[in-house]
Amino acid sequence: MRILVIGALPKSLEIFRGPLLRAMLDRGHQVWACAHGEDRHISDFCASIGAYYQPISIHRAGLNPWREFQTLRQLRALIKSSKADIVLAYTIKPVIYGGIIARLCSVRRSYAMIEGLGHAFIPANGLRYLAVRKIAQFLYRFSLRFSAKVFFLNPDDIDDVLAMGLVDRGKISQVNGTGVDLAYYAAAPLPDRCVFIMIARLLGEKGVREYIEAARILKARHPEAEWLLVGDADDHPNSLSPSEIEQLKRDGAVNYLGYCPDIRPAMTMASVCVLPSYYREGLPRTIQEGMAMGRAVIVTNAPGCRETVRLLPGDVLDKNSTEVLTGENGFLVPVKNVEKLCQAMERCLANSSLRAAMGAASRRYAEERFDVHKVNEVLLAEMGL
């Protein structure tokens, strides 16, 4: 089979999809991969494993009609030149455009992976939000009708797209995240003191401001503890501004490390991985990586995030809870609630044995559910590969 994999960011083809590309190649298929823009490293990576990388223009944000038309034209040319039998697309624009163009080019089968519903489906007020959501719903509904199978990472997204009538139930398949390489993200010893880490794009919806505020509150009471932040700013209006980043560096409550292409050294410095997100996550990758490395987690009781905490035996999840919920490997906290986030952090600060026990439980949960090889076996089976 000739397979075309379409993403938005070139680096995601190696970080998130590298094992899947290799698995496809190992089964004797030919693989083309495309994403936005020239990237020598990704081109070399694809060549090293026997795949082909083709840059296209596919901007994550914006709807400039001429630019979007050029994207469609380039995708059509690539599908024609590769003679693709199968198209697999992930993230919103590749899913929408890939499904439409694959249909127009009579590709044998196309597949979509919804890695979270994203900005367009975060509850908000205003005509602009409503317009964006309606457009996203229309485009998803139109594109997904052409997909042989649509992969989701959490049950909340499945419930929502079914309620909105965006896809037929018979096309839906749930997989356990993007999966992580458990050998690459090996369990690492915990530091002696309590160190929190948040790894994310510096978007408001990721909960970065709540994390910073909690750190400022608790640093005064626990000067021995440390809060790390890894990630870079985004070209989104709700990203941390340059002035906010400068203030962050000055006040000293949070140690801002910037963008790290390899998060393992930073994760080794930490004992608890935090993501207070209310972004419509699929299943947050950095939390899966932290779990694989044996870190306790603190995440929001929100779609995607809540899937990373295993409840204690006998407990039933209350999705509307306003309290801190305790699991085997970490805590669930209400969204946008700094007080409850501080409470969960203080429980970690007070008990090194708890951090260790939760970290060990995280590794076990990752081995059971988030092993990239297990995830890829499901994907390949569903695609008949």
Average pLDDT over residues 323-341: 98
Give every CB contact of residue 287 below 8 A, 6+ residues apart in sequence: 273, 275, 297, 299, 305, 308
pLDDT of res. 132 = 77
pLDDT of res. 70 = 93
* Residue of 175, 244, 246, 209 whose CA lies nearest to 16: 175
Determine what percent of the chain is predicted with pLDDT higher than 90.
85
19-33, 114-128, 254-268 — which is least confidently predicted? 114-128
pLDDT of res. 134 = 85
pLDDT of res. 280 = 86
165, burial (CB in 10 Å: exposed 0-12, middle 13-18, buried 19+): exposed
Q: In which residue are the tokens 């997904």 written?
A: 144
Per-residue confidence band for 166, with pLDDT thresholds at 50, 70 and 90: very high
Please answer whether residues 82 and 4 qualify as being in contact, where contact means their C-beta atoms are separated by less than 8 angstroms. Answer: yes
* Residue 81, both tokens: 């030149």
Residue 104 above 90 pLDDT? yes
pLDDT of res. 124 = 65
pLDDT of res. 303 = 94
Average pLDDT over residues 30-41: 96
Please answer whether residues 258 and 230 qualify as being in contact, where contact means their C-beta atoms are separated by less than 8 angstroms. Answer: yes
Q: Return the CATH number of 195-369, one of 3.40.50.2000, 3.40.1190.20, 1.10.3720.10, 3.40.1130.10.
A: 3.40.50.2000
Q: Tens digit of pLDDT for each residue in 336-365?
A: 999 999 999 999 999 999 999 999 999 999
pLDDT of res. 54 = 96
Determine what percent of the chain is predicted with pLDDT higher than 70.
98
Residue 150: beta bridge partners? 112, 172
pLDDT of res. 116 = 86
Please check whether the two domains, 2-179+371-382 and 195-369, share a CATH topology: yes
44-58, 94-108, 122-136, 294-308 — which is least confidently predicted? 122-136
Per-residue confidence band for 233, with pLDDT thresholds at 50, 70 and 90: confident
Residue 117 above 90 pLDDT? no
Q: How far apart are CA 338 and CA 297, in angstroms?
A: 16
Q: Tens digit of pLDDT for each residue in 118-163?
A: 766 766 667 777 787 888 889 899 999 999 999 999 999 999 999 9
Distances (CA, A) of 323 to 212, 284, 298, 342, 349: 20, 22, 13, 12, 18
- On average, the pLDDT of the chain sits at 94
Q: How far apart are CA 232 and CA 253, in angstroms?
A: 18
CATH number of 2-179+371-382: 3.40.50.2000
233, burial (CB in 10 Å: exposed 0-12, middle 13-18, buried 19+): middle
Average pLDDT over residues 183-211: 96
Domain range list for the chain? 2-179+371-382, 195-369
58-62, 298-302, 373-377 — which is least confidently predicted? 58-62
Per-residue confidence band for 331, with pLDDT thresholds at 50, 70 and 90: very high
pLDDT of res. 62 = 67
Per-residue confidence band for 376, with pLDDT thresholds at 50, 70 and 90: very high
Average pLDDT over residues 27-44: 96
Residue 375 above 80 pLDDT? yes
Q: Which amino acid is at 375?
A: V
What single DSSP character describes residue 205? Answer: G
Please answer whether residues 120 and 97 qualify as being in contact, where contact means their C-beta atoms are separated by less than 8 angstroms. Answer: no
Distances (CA, A) of 221 to 215, 218, 330, 353: 10, 5, 22, 20
Average pLDDT over residues 82-94: 95
* Residue 8, both tokens: 């938005």
Which pairs count as long-range contacts for 56-61, CB under 8 Å and 24+ apart, including other chains? Answer: 58/6, 58/8, 58/34, 58/93, 58/94, 58/97, 59/93, 60/8, 60/9, 60/36, 60/91, 60/93, 61/235, 61/236
